[in-house]
Amino acid sequence: MDGSGSLVAVRVKPGSSRTRVGGRYDGPHGAALIVAVHAPPVDGRATDAAIAALADALGLRRATLSLRSGATGRDKIIAVTDAPPDLADRVARLRDAPP
């Protein structure tokens, strides 16, 4: 991506009792941010909920996030357009926070 965009690796946990963004999962895309959502993994509902939760946790507009890869799996890459300069720090704080 160009200088204004970034990629964020996430591990989605659908069907959770509550929505929560935080924690680390070492998966196929490296260190990923865990996003637990209440939505079931049906018809992309968990993915949509995860993107919305991630946008909220990062303090970004939902429209700036989109799915880059992983539509049918739990490991996803989320593209962030017009990423703020401190996006990597925001992600690291959430990812490295204790569960």
Q: Does 42 fall in a domain?
A: yes
Q: What is the pTM of this model?
A: 0.92
**Residue 2 confidence (pLDDT):** 43
What three-state secondary structure class fits 93? helix
Q: Is residue 78 part of a domain?
A: yes
Q: What is the pLDDT of residues 1-54, one digit of tens each?
A: 444 579 999 999 999 999 999 999 999 999 999 999 999 999 999 999 999 999
Q: What pLDDT sits at residue 4?
A: 59
Domain that holds residue 10: 6-95
The domain spanning residue 47 has which CATH number? 3.30.1200.10
Residue 14 in domain: yes
- Model confidence at 80, pLDDT cuts 50, 70, 90, reads very high
CA distances to 16, 19, 43, 69, 92 from 46, in Å: 10, 11, 8, 14, 22
Read off the pLDDT of each residue in 85-96 and give the average, rounded to a whole number: 95
Q: How many domains does the chain divide into?
A: 1
- What is residue 5's predicted lDDT score, i.e. its pLDDT? 78
The answer to the question of residue 85 being in a domain is yes
pLDDT given at position 1: 40
